[in-house]
Amino acid sequence: MTGVNLDPAKNILTRIEMSEKQTNGKIKAAYLIPLLQDIQESYGYLPREVLEYVSNFSGIALSRIFGVITFYEQFYLEPQGKHTIKCCRGTACHVKNGQKISDTISEVLKVNEGETTDDGVFTFETVACLGTCFLAPVMMIDDEYFGNLTSNEISKIIKRYKEGGTR
Amino acid sequence: MSTVNIRINGLDFQAEAGENILKYTKDHEIPIPHLCFDQRLTPGGACRMCIVQIEGRPGVHTACTMNATEGLSIITENDEIRRLRKSTLELILSEHKTNCTSCDKEGACQLQDYAYEYGAAEDKFPSIVTKNSADNYTEGGIAISYDVEKCIRCMRCVKICAEVQQCEALTFMGRSGEAIVSTPFSMLLTDSSCEMCGQCLDTCPTGALYDKEAAGKGRVRKLKLTRTTCLYCGVGCQLDLNVNPQTGKLVKVTSEAGVIPNDGNTCVKGRFGFDFIHRDERLTTPLIREGDGFREASWDEAIELVAKKFSEIKKESGSDSLAGLSSAKSGNEDNYIMQKFIRSIVGTNNVDHCARLCHASTVTGLVRAFGSGAMTNSINEFSNTPVIFVIGSNTSECHPVMGIKIRKAVAEGKTTLIVADPRKISLTDTAHFHLQHKPGSDVALINAIMYTIIDEHLSDESFIRERTENYDSFREAVLKCPPEFAEKVTGVKAEDIRKVARAYAGAESASIVYSMGITQHTTGTDNVLSLANLAMLTGNVGKAFSGVNPLRGQNNVQGACDMGALPNVYPGYQNVAMPEIHAKFEKAWKTELSDKVGLTVVEIMDKARSKEVRGLYVVGENPVLSDPDSNEVLQGLKNLDFLVVQDLFLTETAELAHVVLPACSFAERDGTFTNTERRIQRYRRAVDPVGNSKPDWEIICSIANKMGASWAYFDVSEIMDEIALVTPIYGGINYRRIDDVGLQWPCVDNEHEGTAVLHKGKFTRGLGKFHAVNFMPQKELPDGDYPFILSTGRMLQHWHTGTMTRKSKVLDQIVPKSYLEINASDAGRLGIVTGEEISVSSRRGYICVDAKISERMAEGVVFLTFHFKESPANVLTIAALDPLAKIPEFKACAVKIAKL
């Protein structure tokens, strides 16, 4: 395994308040989700070495941590791209040929849904609905919406992000 | 607890308020189907099979999540409930691959039974069976197999691992229809926090989890179960040996929830440690030495030779030139017969056994303080004890089922756990306090705890006044040891000592648990006396959830001591030197007896070297590996004119014998073991004896009769009847009474119900006696030449000299060889890495062994187990003895470590 810097995780763990701890100093299991969110915020994903350290430090079993992570879509065990592209597959997008948008993103990035490009720039996901049906078909890159898409536009947008630009 | 009236199917019942309804109906044999319920687990209501109707409330409700309340009235089955259960089953079957034709569980599978009972169709719904994949956590692993295609996601395995075993090795990976059971990152169980107890195998309601070694060796429904007592540690778990009647072989080991004392739980040894029964290396016929080797002999010839030789030596050099080593692995009846043989036929009190090497100082110390050397309280109390102080006991590895009780109580917030141990043993992971004191500094540590208790007025004055004596001289000694002094000797911060003292003394009741870390020192008796002082100082003796609790190591070390396999006492700790006792046994055994206290284990070996002991009879022990300073032991044994060894295998000791006698294993005969909480429990014959092997007591009787006795025991229960006659504490024990559940001694007559807590109201000796104990350093301190302290002990997966456990496929796969545990900075200084073979030497010898860098070790201290003959730890240990108990200092000697 490559060496992951544990310092950010250590920082997060030492900042945990007493009220989240048990009488023997171990961390309460109920605090696990906010803790994982903080760690993912810091690392971009949840590296196994960090999780093993967290388990040892907190007294929360690695199995429990793993169970929670695999239960929720929000947690990632693999490094994510610098940008996350979320393509909507809700009803409105579907009837506006959203599938074509999704296929095009896949083609341009050369990855399947749920994967990250080899250069680590993009992670591609589909989501049930982005809640912006008036923009259908729609995708998001990070916090930005791209609505009324045509498949032609997609490669241009992706190229812009790849060159370090944004919208 | 109050009683409430409930109605079930129109019939009136009384239950305790809050009692679980499904458990209640199970106990009253009212059938309610269930798949996810196990009485050891928190009910989850997941499988929906136990649905019932409640009168006056709409819908259906799960019985497993329902508690008894006044007036509750339920219907457990009608057409509507049947219809719902049927479709629930059909949904479950859609995710279960029903290949019953080749399943080991066929005919003993709850799911299959219910499908039949409710007429559920396998194919009512489309199959959504998750396929087995390469990242299955058991793929390529040992002992346990998980077939995801048969899994119904009841969660019993995940929950038993978390709630009962406290290992949390298992979890659900993913969610909804795609959830499968897994370890974190699908790692192998042996890489996870799993302890391989196999509780998950036992609780699985289908064939999804199964014992790899048992697969294909007999369908579960055809296996014959025999209830027996585990052969490993002193907890005395009740096991069911599952034997295939067609092959006559043991297929697997299970246990039943609810049994005393283990509630259906086992450890890895109890689950997987019995391959030795059927191993080809078992001795099947007597052997007689011929030159450098052995020849096979008949029983008649072997018995004749032993009787002749013993008689000759007795005639030439007197009875005291003979000695016997009995066995804490054999039953009470065998030990009784052995000591009776040595005392009444050979005519000497030279009989001892390995209790000398483990708890001799317990017996010496606790008899002096309390009047009885046994565990004061009972195992089940540890589920509810407010404070548990574990010192010198690696409970979760050496008494694992006891360990899980403690871990569970801590996890449930019922117990504050204090651990004092030179190593960061696994119990320290959950402990509230860990005092990592230096080996051999126990007295200073305990005295400083008591100093704080006295100093801060936390002692129980009325208990001291009414129940004890000799307080003042004790107090004087303790006041010489303030925590600041102890800090220098023990390496533990004074403030931590004070905190622990407050926690222990402040509890409503507190229990002390200890084991070899306390006893195996030249100051062993002092250590034990100090713990007795601590308990009396705070009034923590003679009531539930308290006491001084030595955990006995061997399955029957308590019983072997009770039976008088000790040089100074007859059965029931009746002193051989007391004239009236002596006369009683001369009358009972109709013979003359010696009133001279006999030799202890280490003394027997010494006298063998000096030729004062010429003949030795060893039953089921392996002193070459188990006794300290092996080279001296070897020399003693080689010096003997006649050595008889009775065992299952040709052990390192048996190889030196003149006659080797093949004994039956515990699975091939009947008898009783007494566990650490003084409970006398049955073990039972489950398979036929291997070859011509015989039970120990039968062999000893044959020799006795050849030497002039006329002992005729029809079976083993008659021996127990004789034991009851001469042993007051066993007075009420007979096979009928202990058939179902064992009784705890003292049990003085047939009406007596046994004793869970000793010293209630009055100590066995009358008043509890305080002893002034001053700190003394260990015998051999580290110095420039030998700078490390070596401590020795056991590990979870192996047992003693490895004669049995190393013949188990699973146990050998988990830990195939020995290793020396060493702290990272020590290893770094010596340039040693994990896995590197190194040499370890003491003033007595040297061995080679792999190094293992371990966070559990403190600097300057190294640890080695004595299970492995390739790296025999006892070549290094010192035969320095506790002056009173004659127990050797296994826990501390000086060694040096070098790269090869």
How much is the mean pLDDT over chain A? 89
- pLDDT tens track for B830-841: 999 999 999 999
Beta bridge partners of B85: none
Find the angle CA(B534)-CA(B536)-CA(B539) to the nearest 5 degrees.
Answer: 115
- pLDDT tens track for B562-610: 999 999 999 999 999 999 999 999 999 999 999 999 999 989 999 999 9
Which residues in chain A are contacts of B185 at CB distance < 8 A?
A: 48, 66
Nearest CA in chain B to A78: B185
- CB count in 10 Å sphere of residue A120: 11
> How far is residue B176's CA from residue B169's CA, in Å, rounded to a whole number?
20
Q: Judge contact between B432 and B418, C-beta under 8 A.
A: yes
- The structure tokens listed for B548 are 């001084």
How much is the mean pLDDT over chain B? 93
For position B353, what pLDDT does the model report?
A: 93
Which residues in chain B are contacts of A66 at CB distance < 8 A?
A: 171, 173, 182-185
Burial of B584 (0-12, 13-18, 19+ CB in 10 A): middle
For residue A1, pLDDT over 50 is answered with: no
Average pLDDT over residues B406-412: 92
CB contact under 8 A, B174 and A63: no
Beta bridge partners of B642: B615
> How far is residue B415's CA from residue A22's CA, in Å, rounded to a whole number?
13
- pLDDT tens track for B612-656: 999 999 999 888 888 778 788 899 999 999 999 999 999 989 999
- The structure tokens listed for B254 are 């299970």
CB contact under 8 A, A24 and B173: no
- The structure tokens listed for B412 are 């449930």
DSSP string, B140-163: T-SSEEE-GGG-----HHHHIIII
What is the number of alpha carbons within 13 Å of residue B243 lying toward its C-beta? 22
For position A166, what pLDDT does the model report?
A: 67
Select from B160, B167, B171 the residue whose CB has the most chain A CBs within 10 Å, as the one to mutate to test that interface.
B171
Phi-psi region of A90 (alpha: psi -120 to 50; beta: other; left: phi over 0): beta
- The structure tokens listed for B636 are 């003693």
Average pLDDT over residues B426-452: 93
Count H helices and E strands in chain B, helices first: 28, 37
Q: How much is the pTM?
A: 0.90
A interface with B, Cβ–Cβ < 8 A, is 22-26, 48, 51, 59, 61-67, 70-71
What is the number of alpha carbons within 13 Å of residue B484 lying toward its C-beta? 0
- CB count in 10 Å sphere of residue B419: 29
CB contact under 8 A, B192 and A63: yes
- CB count in 10 Å sphere of residue B597: 15
> How far is residue A81's CA from residue B352's CA, in Å, rounded to a whole number?
71
From-to residues of CATH 1.10.10 in chain A: 7-71
Nearest CA in chain B to A63: B184
For position A2, what pLDDT does the model report?
A: 56
Select from A32, A63, A71 the residue whose CB has the most chain B CBs within 10 Å, as the one to mutate to test that interface.
A63
- How far are the Cα atoms of B76, B117, B366 from residue B18, in angstroms, in the given order? 19, 30, 41
What is the number of alpha carbons within 13 Å of residue B673 lying toward its C-beta? 29
Contacts of B851 (CB under 8 A, 6+ apart): B819, B820, B822, B827, B832, B833, B834, B835, B836, B837, B838
Average pLDDT over residues A80-103: 92
User: Does B416 touch chain A if contact means CB atoms closer than 8 Å?
Assistant: yes
Q: How confident is the model at residue B675 (pLDDT cuts 50, 70, 90)?
A: very high
Contacts of A89 (CB under 8 A, 6+ apart): A98, A99, A102, A126, A127, A128, A129
Beta bridge partners of B238: B229
CB contact under 8 A, B175 and A65: no
Q: How confident is the model at residue B307 (pLDDT cuts 50, 70, 90)?
A: very high
Average pLDDT over residues B508-512: 95
Partner residue opposite A24 with nearest CB, options B167, B192, B430: B430
- pLDDT tens track for A119-131: 989 999 999 899 9
Beta bridge partners of A30: none
Average pLDDT over residues B710-717: 92
> How far is residue A123's CA from residue A82's CA, in Å, rounded to a whole number?
8
Instruction: Return the minimum-mean-pLDDT range out of B30-39, B122-131, B311-320, B817-826.
Output: B122-131
For residue B496, pLDDT over 50 is answered with: yes
DSSP string, B623-672: HHHHSSSHHHHHHHHHH-SEEEEEESS--TTGGG-SEEEEBPPGGGS-EE
Q: Which amino acid is at B637?
A: L
Q: How confident is the model at residue B99 (pLDDT cuts 50, 70, 90)?
A: confident
* φ, ψ (nearest 5 deg) of residue B140: 80, 0
* DSSP state at residue B873: G
Which one is the CATH code of A83-162: 3.40.30.10, 3.30.499.10, 3.90.420.10, 3.40.50.720? 3.40.30.10
Q: How confident is the model at residue A96 (pLDDT cuts 50, 70, 90)?
A: very high
- The secondary element (H helix, E strand) that includes residue B812 is helix B809-814
For position B164, what pLDDT does the model report?
A: 94
Partner residue opposite A67 with nearest CB, options B171, B413, B416: B171
Contacts of B581 (CB under 8 A, 6+ apart): B570, B574, B575
Which of these, B269, B275, B276, lies nearest to B251 by C-alpha position?
B275
* Portion 152-211 of B in contact with A at CB < 8 A: 162, 167-175, 182-185, 192-193
Q: What is the CATH number of domain A7-71?
A: 1.10.10
Helix axes B716-726, B579-589, angle to 10 degrees: 150
Q: Judge contact between B498 and B869, C-beta under 8 A.
A: no
Domains of chain B: 3-77 (3.10.20.740), 287-358+556-744 (3.40.50.740), 360-550 (3.40.228.10), 788-899 (2.40.40.20)
Strands B238-244 and B224-229: antiparallel
> How far is residue A112's CA from residue A126's CA, in Å, rounded to a whole number?
10
Q: Judge contact between B679 and B668, C-beta under 8 A.
A: no
Which residues in chain B are contacts of A65 at CB distance < 8 A?
A: 184
Determine what percent of chain A is predicted with pLDDT higher than 70: 98
For position B661, what pLDDT does the model report?
A: 97
> How far is residue B70's CA from residue B429's CA, in Å, rounded to a whole number?
43
Average pLDDT over residues B358-377: 90
- The structure tokens listed for B315 are 């005639």
Q: What is the ipTM of this complex?
A: 0.85
For position B246, what pLDDT does the model report?
A: 94
> How far is residue B218's CA from residue B246's CA, in Å, rounded to a whole number?
9
- How far are the Cα atoms of B98, B105, B237, B451 from residue B88, in angstroms, in the given order? 16, 21, 37, 64
Partner residue opposite B168 with nearest CB, options A23, A26, A64: A64
Beta bridge partners of B645: B618, B660
- The 10 Å CB-count burial string (b at 16+, else e) for B470-502 is ebeebbebbeebbbebbbebbbbebebbbbbbe
- How far are the Cα atoms of B316, B637, B657 from residue B643, in angstroms, in the given order? 16, 8, 5
